[in-house]
Structure 1
Amino acid sequence: MGIREKYRDKYRVKIGFVPTRRETFSETAFRLDKAAETKKKVEERLTAMQVDYVNIDFLNEEGLLYRSRDAEKVAEYLNQQKVDAIFIAHVNFGCEEAVARLASMVRKPVLLWAVRDDAPEPEGYRFRDAQCGVFASSKVLSRFDIPFTYLTNCYTEDVKFENGIRNFLAAAGVAKAFNAPRIGQISVRPAAFWSVKCNEAELLERFGVEVMPITLVEMQKRYQDILQKKGTDFEEELDHIMSKVKAECVGREALESICAMKLAVFNWAEEENLRAAATQCWAPFTDISGIAPCYLMGDSTDDGFPIACENDIHGALTAIMALGANGASEPPFFADLTGRHPTDDNAELLWHCGVFPPGLANEKGVTIGCHQGKGYKGAGQFELKQGDITLLRFDSLKGDYKLLFGEGKTTQGPYSKGTYVWAKFNDWPAWERKFVCGPYIHHCTGVYGSYAHVFQEAVKYLKGVEPDPVYPAQEALNERWK
């Protein structure tokens, strides 16, 4: 059924398209008709790609930036339009001072590109020199300490143009997701889980992350009120939950409890404008609801609101980064690195008690069953589908924040209780060592698709976060941006 539209909207990236030309022009250099032609082609491509963008046609008859003093007007307009990123396109040499001043005022991810120049005319005239101008703009952006993404000099018709735009949208999506998000915290971490401790004050001071707590007592009141009233929205939500399920062995009462608690969490999240949450998910949660929270957590993630286990705030933040990378086209899954494959030294079991999103299940479908440990009702029982995956983990130690990421592929392996998938990597012992020796724990987030290059690029917009790639190697990641 896919992620709900109201959550998908939070991850849409809106671009401010800013074509720039040189202020001087003539019939033999920096011709205006050539600049206008390129602007039109870019806008046609963006429209065909269904990119959400605004241009700067308000500024002048051409809709081009070519004077430094206009940077303030454009910045004010783009901020009013609430753009999430800027696409600066050199349609000829451009205006480096205006470009840098604009980017410094908007302070959003920047995509820098120049159209590939045509061959000189038989008489020797050149009408653009766009590539030459992008060298100038890149230097001035660096002087202003403005991070930017570079799209290789190419024609608008080239495949690399579309790929570059889409890759940038994904990187900008990660930056948007991590831009001062509000994360819910339901109760406290389990006493035995020291590994999930985080510095809430530091997250706020350095990244603008706001952690909004709620007690289990408060959540219980919300849950009981919904369960008692069972209004129209309750029946609709229960139908929505069951539409994803092939089988259940927990009974009507437990299913209604799952539905009521999910609605209680969603209502609270909407009131507080939360992006994701982390929860106490052990016995105290069952004490207030009579169910294991696992399945409702996975179903919430499936709808676009991730809930991480064991009050892992860093895990919740990692999940929204994953949603930023794929534009909330598919949910991430929150996994334990659980154990090595019995016959494949480079494969690992990605598992959790029952919290994987049902929308990622393989063709065997989804069963709502019982928690394998205590037997509490309300845990998913299914295996995930096959495909390429990217694993990532945002974490810290002593004030140093890192984002680990790398790619692998799911594989076959023995059956396991709970929700699980086996995954194969290029060199699992190297991955294992990275997790053990870095500032990481056994939790990670998986997302289907190959996004290592996206996270590598996105980190430059997450000031204070260091990239920690595992696989592919840096050179291979760079190739994807060429």
Structure 2
Amino acid sequence: MSRVKVGFVPLHRHPFDEKWAIELKERFIAAVKAGFGDVVDLVYPSERDTKLGLVSDDEDAESVAELFRKEGVDGIAIAALTFGDELAGARVVELVRKPTVIYATKEPATLPGGFRRSDSFCGTLSLTSALYRRKIPFLFGGIVLPEEEDFRRSFDAFVKAVNVVKVFVGAKVGAVGPRPERFETVTFNEAAMAARFSQRVVHVDLLEVVEDARKLGDNDPRVTKVVDEVVRQLDASAVPREALVKLAKLEVVLRELAERRGLVGLGLRCWTELQRFYGVTPCLVMGRLTDSGIMAACEVDVYGALTMAMQYAASLGKSIPFFIDWTIKHPTKENVFLAWHCGNMPPSLCHGACKLGFHSVMYREVGA
């Protein structure tokens, strides 16, 4: 999964203490690099971009907004390092329009003579009011210092939320074949998806996928690679090699389709045509695709694929999701049910030995 770019706005207002603002800016940068350097690229102004590398007026705001647009930031974090100029902060968000979190900072000790160095909380109230008047949504991350656990926890949640938005808005999802006619639960509204979230459903004919799979040779390196991986990954001793080769061919075609079209995932017409006309049940293929970051949902469940993509993004690609929607009530125990789907679990989620076999439902119907 790609890294998350966060634009950092170090907000300041004259005549408060710019030395304190600069110190806090460096501490925020150091905290993010130390705690999130594996997933976050922090974009922030230098002294070449703004006065003292801070943001305190309209000129600074325009410069920082241009920097953020150029770098393609995914989200914006604003810290009122001193009082903070609310119009400058609001202008950056207004121009860039990305998910935003606001931090107030804790007050330092007053200087001799009673001079207040910061007054961050008051400035934060003004900034959030400016965003509210403009109907720009934002998160409030708290009143923090960058080394504190409250900041780490809040920033972690923000980065994950930003990544969800990054993946979800503008997503392309494959719909391979039509949905099952009797399953109205997996309908989806393409017009609403496009209008609200700039999403697109990429329709693919199931017959085309099957024919492309059939065209692949049994000894195609892409096919043998998948077969070898499956044999190493799980116990496939009960499955004929011919079936493994068919599964491998189907995986190659679907994986290359997703990569070629830039899909975050796909919903597949997984029964009964594939069983009757191609000879395999595609659950293993779908689980392996999900394991590799291409979310694969049963029964052309486009919303299910999007849901998994959001879950995967929320974990920053560190946790494999599994979309479960068959809830079978336990025959004797109260408040216990079996949560599963009919076989497309990612193999990485197997507890102990993972065994490949014939489908418990489809085998009775079509023998695959």
* TM bracket (short chain): over 0.9
- After TM superposition, the score normalised by the length of structure 2 is 0.93
Q: Helix, strand or coil for the counterpart of 1:350?
A: strand
One of 24, 39, 55 as aligned partner of 2:25: 39
Q: Helix, strand or coil for the counterpart of 2:136?
A: coil
Matches within 5 A, 1:452-467: none
Partner of 2:131: 141
Residue 377 of structure 1: CA displacement? 7.5
Matched, 1:19 2:10: yes
Contact 1:216 1:288 in 2 (8 A): no
* Aligned mates of 1:138, 1:225 — CA distance in 2: 59
**Change in 2 beyond 3 A, CA 1:377/1:137:** farther
**Change in 2 beyond 3 A, CA 1:276/1:92:** same
One of 58, 65, 72 as aligned partner of 2:62: 72
One of 259, 269, 273 as aligned partner of 1:270: 259
AA in 2 matched with 1:367: K
Residue 246 of structure 1: CA displacement? 3.7
Partner of 1:104: 94
Partner of 1:290: 279
* Aligned mates of 1:377, 1:169 — CA distance in 2: 47
Q: Helix, strand or coil for the counterpart of 1:220?
A: helix
Matched, 1:202 2:188: no
Matches within 5 A, 1:64-213: 64-121=54-111, 123-213=113-203
AA in 1 matched with 2:9: V
Note the alpha carbon deviations across 1:131-164, whole angstroms, 9 max, x for none: 2111110110111111111111011121111111
More helix by share: 2
More strand by share: 1
Moved more, 333-342 or 103-112: 333-342
Note the alpha carbon deviations across 1:17-37, whole angstroms, 9 max, x for none: 111111x22xxxx11111110
Aligned residues: 362
* Aligned mates of 1:31, 1:352 — CA distance in 2: 59
* Aligned mates of 1:294, 1:81 — CA distance in 2: 40
Moved more, 197-206 or 142-151: 197-206
Partner of 1:353: 342
Partner of 1:409: none
AA in 1 matched with 2:101: L
The CA RMSD measured in Å over matched residues stands at 1.8
Matched, 1:313 2:313: no
* Aligned mates of 2:230, 2:30 — CA distance in 1: 41
Q: Helix, strand or coil for the counterpart of 1:333?
A: coil
Residue 342 of structure 1: CA displacement? 4.7
Residue 86 of structure 1: CA displacement? 0.6
**Change in 2 beyond 3 A, CA 1:224/1:337:** closer
Structure 1 unmatched ranges of 5 or more: 1-7, 379-482
Q: Which runs of 4+ in 1 moved over 6 A?
A: none
AA in 1 matched with 2:23: E
- After TM superposition, the score normalised by the length of structure 1 is 0.72
Residue 247 of structure 1: CA displacement? 4.3
Between structure 1 and structure 2, the one with the greater Rg is 2
* Aligned mates of 2:101, 2:237 — CA distance in 1: 49
